[in-house]
């Protein structure tokens, strides 16, 4: 593995009806839903790690702390960015943000844990 703090990743989205709070069951308004914001931020962390984890390794989400700060309407472009801030053994702590053309939409932290894929999946049996 070639992990180092400062590693970055991003994920992009054009908000559709399927991404709204109403569609996701997290509210009654037709704006970007918080569960979709969280998923986009997690996607950015995965992009950051895509080419650096060893063979048969992956990462899994452990903790998500995100503040959803402003609404984003359907049709708007959103970009989530993740920066690896700290490494503690197998735990990787990212600072994440999501922004649209009007500014910051969400910000927070995502912690992922590096695991052996086969061993991890074996826990499901």
What integer pLDDT is reported at residue 1 of this predicted model?
65
Confidence of residue 79 (pLDDT cuts 50, 70, 90): very high
Domain assignment present for 108: yes
The total of structural domains in the chain comes to 1
Domain assignment present for 2: no
Average pLDDT of the residues of the chain = 96
* Contact by Cβ (8 Å): 71, 4: no
Q: Average the pLDDT over 28-48 and give the result.
A: 98
What pTM, to 2 d.p., does this model score? Answer: 0.95
Domain assignment present for 3: no
Helix (H) or strand (E) holding 116: strand 103-116
Q: What confidence tens digit (pLDDT) does each residue in 49-67 have?
A: 999 998 899 999 999 999 9
Give the CA radius of gyration of the chain: 15
Domain assignment present for 70: yes
| CATH classification of the domain holding 29 | 3.10.129.10
Task: Check whether 91 has a pLDDT greater than 90.
Answer: yes
Angle (nearest 5°) at CA 87 between 61 and 52: 75
| Segments forming the whole domain that contains residue 109 | 8-122
Domain assignment present for 1: no
């Amino acid at each position: 593995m070639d992990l180092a703090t400062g590693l970055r990743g991003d994920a992009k989205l054009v908000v559709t009806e399927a991404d709204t709070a109403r569609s996701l069951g997290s509210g009654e308004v037709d704006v970007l839903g918080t569960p979709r914001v969280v998923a986009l931020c997690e996607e950015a962390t995965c992009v950051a790690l895509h080419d650096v984890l060893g063979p048969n390794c992956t990462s899994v989400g452990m903790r998500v702390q995100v503040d959803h700060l402003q609404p984003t309407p359907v049709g708007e472009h959103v970009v989530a960015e993740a920066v690896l801030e700290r490494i503690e053994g197998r735990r990787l702590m990212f600072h994440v943000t999501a922004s649209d053309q009007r500014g910051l939409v969400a910000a927070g932290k995502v912690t992922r844990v590096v695991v052996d894929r086969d061993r991890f999946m074996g826990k499901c049996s």
